[in-house]
Amino acid sequence: MFNSVSSRANFAKQEEETLKYWQDNDIFNESVRQREGSPRFTLFEGPPTANGRPGIHHALSRSFKDVIPRYKTMKGYYAPRIGGWDTHGLPVELEVEKQLGFTSKKQIEDYSIAKFNKKCKASVFKYLEDWDKMTVRLGYWCDLDHPYVTMENEYIESGWWTMKQLWDKGYLYQGYRVTPHCPRCGTSLSSHELAQGYSDATDPAIFVKFKACKNTLPEEILKAAGETPVYFMAWTTTPWTIPSNVALAVSASDDYAAVKSDNEIIILAKERVTAVGLDPDCIAVTVKGSELTECRYEPIYNPHDFGIDRKKMTGDPSQSTPVLVLEPVDHELTYPVISTDYVTMDDGTGIVHTAPAFGEDDFASGRKYSLNFIQHVDLQGIITGSYPFAGKFVKTADPEIIEDLKQRGALYKSGSITHTYPFCWRCKTPLLYYAKQSWYIRTTAVKDKLVSGNKKINWVPEHIKEGRFGDWLENNVDWAVSRERYWGTPLPVWQCTTCGKQTCIGSIDELKNEEGVEGITEPLDLHRPYVDDITFKCHSCGGQMKRVKEVIDCWFDSGNMQIAQYHYPFNESSKTIFNDGRYPADFICEAVDQTRGWFYSLHALSTLLFGEPCFKNVICLGHILDEKGEKMSKSRGNVVDVMTVLNKYGADATRWYLFTSGPPGNARRFSEQLVADVTRQFMLILWNVYSFFITYANIDNFDPTKTEFVAPTAELDKWLVSETHNLVKVVTEELDTYDITSAARAIESFVVDDLSNWYVRRSRRRFWKSENDNDKISAYFALYNCLVTVSKLLAPFMPFLADELYRNLVISVDPNAKKSVHLTDFPVCDESLIDESIEKRIRLAIKLSSLGRAARSAAGVKVRQPMATAYIKLASSAEADTIPYIKDQLMEELNIKDVTLITDETAYQSENYIQSVDGPYTIFVDKNISQDLLDEGIVREIVHRMQNIRKAAGLEIADHIKLYCYGDEYIAKVYKDFADYIRHETLADELYGDNVPEGVTPESYNLDGHVVNIAVVKV
């Protein structure tokens, strides 16, 4: 016997019981263990940070991530899953700074790096418990007890090994360049971090005039000008960079106009004259940009007047670092006009203000033309020197600078602009592009390999491959990998304090074995400040080697998990990772923002180290929005708490919603209501089929292990078997290509449309009849096998409900069966059981039934009222041959006495017929209903009321009854005429009239003007 099943399911509560069952029986570990020795399937877990609470987007990626290894395990693979934690970096430091009320690096250093890092370390696992709770409750299977942790010595040591490899290949270098710099965090950021922090900002947009040195101007302009002063006009959205201006850039091939305006002449691109607001009729003369490149102009702010050094950029431009040479004081300084290819006519004046200290293009021009280099801003973003606006943060100083420009007669006009501007992804401070020394990984050296390796990766959705990710690789720039911070993997480069020689250390042993090593304290902690105290002897000059002060980008840590999780190459067991399936990963899965984050850092490091990608398949998930399609955020107050939803509706409903609501790459809406809909639209439908089966199987003592098997004979059963195997085939194919959404949708449509709405609905009567004939047993086997198969197909998606179904359907009749659906093999499609001709026929029956119902309802005829004939026009004569097989089904479905095929519609196009059309298919029904059919219609209404009374009285399906029914003469007549039918339908032993026993009150109904009284009494 199966355990009886309540028709009212409480999925969330049932899941808690299943969770306990899994824990008590160690099902996850067993599912992995029992496949030991089989081929491996490897998932790389992208490490989250546990110093923030898990949110719904984490549940999204964990749900998708979970499906594939569960599936592969059932397919026979050995698939251990190692969890991981990202523990370093700015996010952690920033939290601690907030806690301590710090706003600058100086406060951290005054407080002591040792104490600061201790606090960082302590805060890393602040929300570990919440994470574990969410992970377990969601049914995400992963080894939470032995995770890799990026701050552990062993993990750091693998990072050092990687750095040493890069160093030896010449891929790690120190360069002086313009990098995005956060003035609050006091550190460079990489281009992928930059990509995380763009948002809209309103900035000043000003037109600035630079006074031309007249004797350098082209003849024509000079002639037109006479005594009038001449200015070059440039446009900028960063007024604070004007003091660092050292050149103006023009486009050599474009036309430039000298325009007369209020006692001055302004030079700008001809194409921009009107846009800027000057009068094109006042153009005095036009010259090519190339004619302006001999011109010079006077600085608005001569650095020597404000106590700022002026340097000259020299050295071979192909080297990573320019040589900056101090220039003598010169109060008569002038700067050049240069021509470059980055001047556009899209905005501004066609003349570009150039400050090599603050822009990548400007910096490149500086090196190309050996321009001056002026740095008047410190690393905190504060203006230095004796400018009237010195001592202020650059962005705050802008209004004063604009005012000062105005007073100096250098401002043509000012306004503002709203554009996208990069902000620090952690602290939201506007970033500055700042020329400074940083450490880089030369990813551009392997750009071709990055691109060609990407072609081998299977991306879901596919467009990311050549789109978002491919573009990113095509535009690759070297990875700014150092951070001038505290809590991170220390950069393992030591530098001689005497001769400047640098060396990279690749392991703890290497460090300990350096000659004259000092400052090692045990137990060893590879973090700052302890590692900073370790010194050794310079190989070249015998001087002292000290570590450089930088730590490494935390995205390096997470990207290096590909080997560091195994403590490669130090751990003995890690030596085989390339041969035993642990490397590369078969599968990774995170949100789309990781294309420039973790996906990139994994791909960059594997390509640099081993020349190959380190993941074969990747699912890239879209963002989660609220119910209205808006971004979720604390400030909007629309964040959905994931634990609330899991506890209320269960993990299965949540997971299923996430799988089926849209393709993985799309943004998806999320709310409690949307999850609740899943319960109603799918889970309860499946549950009803399941509880229907259990109820009848128990009544009839059907036991699949004892009852002799009967192969399907009925058309419906053969069809169900065929469709079930078809489903196995589809789900397998979709999961093999990582299409989780299509696989889940295929299961849902099978369960709802085929299994519940056709098979079970049409088979109900076969289970109701009292004798256990072959037809009934055939139906039991077909339905039973289908449900067991569905439980296995569902297992990777809805691990809880799947197991609940399986345990009752299988274990309760076979105690020796595997203890959980997750320990079983995934179903295999038996092609010999797929019968396409039956599937085609039933599809046709389903189609015609729905078309016929539409015609009935258009005719305004009640469902229970039988009608005479349906006239059907089919799409082809081949289809006509299938009608004999499905005619009975159609007659029942449509509650109709006969089906007639027609080819010519003209005879039926009158007001006596109602038609319904779908493409080549047409159905007509005859509106006229005979008295016999009307009588039958009334009887069916009466039987329907009787069944309702039975149900309301709480009678079991098999209970026999006495039936009382009376009314007018007409009612008495039909009650008598249809007595056999009524008895059969209601399991009534005897039919009575108005002699209702005392204490029983009949229910009264009005059916087409006839009052009917009905009472039901259990025998």
Can 47 be counted among the known catalytic residues? yes
CB-CB contact of 775 with 714 (8 Å):
yes
Q: Catalytic: which of 459, 487, 494, 555? A: 555
The Cα–Cα gap between 617 and 603 comes to 12
Q: Catalytic: which of 20, 455, 631, 976? A: 631
Can 529 be counted among the known catalytic residues? no
CB of 189 to Zn ion, least distance (A): 8
Amino acid at 826: F
CB of 319 to Zn ion, least distance (A): 22
**Binding residue (CB under 5 A) for Zn ion from 32, 50, 185, 563:** 185
Residue number, 539 or 745, with CB nearest to Zn ion: 539
Does residue 98 bind Zn ion (CB under 5 A)? Answer: no
Please list every residue from 936 through 965 that binds Zn ion, using CB under 5 A. Answer: none
Can 776 be counted among the known catalytic residues? no
The Cα–Cα gap between 374 and 357 comes to 6
The Cα–Cα gap between 847 and 859 comes to 19
The Cα–Cα gap between 935 and 859 comes to 19
CB of 187 to Zn ion, least distance (A): 8
Q: Which stretch binds Zn ion (CB under 5 A): 542-550, 623-631, 685-693, 822-830?
A: 542-550
Please list every residue from 428 through 457 that binds Zn ion, using CB under 5 A. Answer: 429
CB of 30 to Zn ion, least distance (A): 47
Residue 812: CB atoms within 10 A of its CB come to 14
Q: Catalytic: which of 628, 634, 815, 904? A: 634
CB-CB contact of 172 with 441 (8 Å):
yes
**Binding residue (CB under 5 A) for Zn ion from 122, 499, 828, 953:** 499
CB-CB contact of 19 with 137 (8 Å):
yes
CB-CB contact of 398 with 377 (8 Å):
no
**What is residue 325's three-state secondary structure?**
strand
| Helix or strand (DSSP H, E) at 480 | strand 479-480
Can 814 be counted among the known catalytic residues? no
Residue 430: CB atoms within 10 A of its CB come to 19
CB-CB contact of 414 with 402 (8 Å):
yes
Residue number, 120 or 538, with CB nearest to Zn ion: 538
Q: Which stretch binds Zn ion (CB under 5 A): 9-17, 492-500, 602-610, 693-701?
A: 492-500
Give the pair of three-digit tokens for residue 209. 């005039």
Can 305 be counted among the known catalytic residues? no
**What is residue 824's three-state secondary structure?**
coil
Q: Catalytic: which of 22, 141, 439, 598? A: 598
The CA distances from residue 613 to 449, 453, 712, in Å, are: 9, 6, 50
Q: Which residues contact 512 (CB under 8 A, 6 or more apart)?
A: 520
DSSP labels, 708-744? PP----SHHHHHHHHHHHHHHHHHHHHHHTT-HHHHH
CB of 500 to Zn ion, least distance (A): 7
CB of 537 to Zn ion, least distance (A): 9
Residue number, 109 or 830, with CB nearest to Zn ion: 109
Residue number, 540 or 772, with CB nearest to Zn ion: 540
Can 634 be counted among the known catalytic residues? yes
Does residue 544 bind Zn ion (CB under 5 A)? Answer: no
Residue number, 436 or 847, with CB nearest to Zn ion: 436
The Cα–Cα gap between 495 and 539 comes to 11
Give the pair of three-digit tokens for residue 303. 């650095």
CB of 455 to Zn ion, least distance (A): 36
Residue number, 496 or 755, with CB nearest to Zn ion: 496
**Binding residue (CB under 5 A) for Zn ion from 62, 70, 164, 184:** 184
Q: State the greatest distance between any 2 C-alpha atoms of the chain, in Å, as a whole number.
A: 125
CB-CB contact of 443 with 604 (8 Å):
yes
Residue number, 498 or 837, with CB nearest to Zn ion: 498
CA proximity to 412, closest of 666, 550, 236, 563: 236
Site string for Zn ion, 450-489 (x = CB under 5 A): ----------------------------------------
Residue number, 88 or 468, with CB nearest to Zn ion: 88
CB of 742 to Zn ion, least distance (A): 42
Please list every residue from 704 through 743 that binds Zn ion, using CB under 5 A. Answer: none
Does residue 103 bind Zn ion (CB under 5 A)? Answer: no
Give the pair of three-digit tokens for residue 19. 């969770």
The Cα–Cα gap between 393 and 412 comes to 24
Q: Which residues pair with 180 in a beta bridge?
A: 433
* Strands of 160-229, DSSP E: 172-182, 187-188, 198-211
104: left (phi over 0), alpha (psi -120 to 50) or beta: beta
**Binding residue (CB under 5 A) for Zn ion from 10, 321, 396, 540:** 540
CB of 188 to Zn ion, least distance (A): 11
Does residue 496 bind Zn ion (CB under 5 A)? Answer: yes
Q: Which residues pair with 460 in a beta bridge?
A: 619
Residue number, 67 or 432, with CB nearest to Zn ion: 432
Amino acid at 857: S
Does residue 543 bind Zn ion (CB under 5 A)? Answer: yes
CB-CB contact of 183 with 395 (8 Å):
no
Q: Catalytic: which of 375, 562, 594, 865? A: 594
Site string for Zn ion, 126-165 (x = CB under 5 A): ----------------------------------------
Q: Which stretch binds Zn ion (CB under 5 A): 69-77, 541-549, 591-599, 815-823?
A: 541-549
CB-CB contact of 1019 with 989 (8 Å):
yes
**Binding residue (CB under 5 A) for Zn ion from 10, 498, 644, 666:** 498
For 773, phi then psi, to 5°, come to: -85, 180
Number of residues that bind Zn ion (CB under 5 A): 14
In eight-state DSSP terms, residue 254 is: S
Does residue 675 bind Zn ion (CB under 5 A)? Answer: no
Q: Which residues contact 728 (CB under 8 A, 6 or more apart)?
A: 789, 793, 827, 828, 829
Q: Catalytic: which of 66, 69, 86, 209? A: 86
Does residue 182 bind Zn ion (CB under 5 A)? Answer: yes
Q: Which stretch binds Zn ion (CB under 5 A): 106-114, 126-134, 185-193, 444-452?
A: 185-193
Does residue 295 bind Zn ion (CB under 5 A)? Answer: no
Residue number, 545 or 588, with CB nearest to Zn ion: 545
CB-CB contact of 312 with 370 (8 Å):
yes
CB of 424 to Zn ion, least distance (A): 3
CB of 430 to Zn ion, least distance (A): 10
DSSP labels, 603-666? HHHHHHHHSS-SEEEEEEE--EE-TTSPBP-TTTT-PPPHHHHHHHH-HHHHHHHHHHSS-TTS
Can 459 be counted among the known catalytic residues? no
Please list every residue from 377 through 436 that binds Zn ion, using CB under 5 A. Answer: 424, 427, 429
DSSP labels, 377-404? B-TTSBB-TT-TTTTSBHHHHHHHHHHH
CB of 97 to Zn ion, least distance (A): 10
Residue number, 90 or 746, with CB nearest to Zn ion: 90
Residue number, 501 or 729, with CB nearest to Zn ion: 501
Site string for Zn ion, 519-538 (x = CB under 5 A): -------------------x
Residue number, 214 or 501, with CB nearest to Zn ion: 501
**Binding residue (CB under 5 A) for Zn ion from 1, 541, 858, 957:** 541
Q: Which stretch binds Zn ion (CB under 5 A): 181-189, 269-277, 775-783, 943-951?
A: 181-189
| Residues tagged active-site | 47, 86, 555, 594, 598, 631, 634
Q: Where along the sequence are the contacts to Zn ion (CB under 5 A)? A: 182, 184-185, 424, 427, 429, 496, 498-499, 501, 538, 540-541, 543
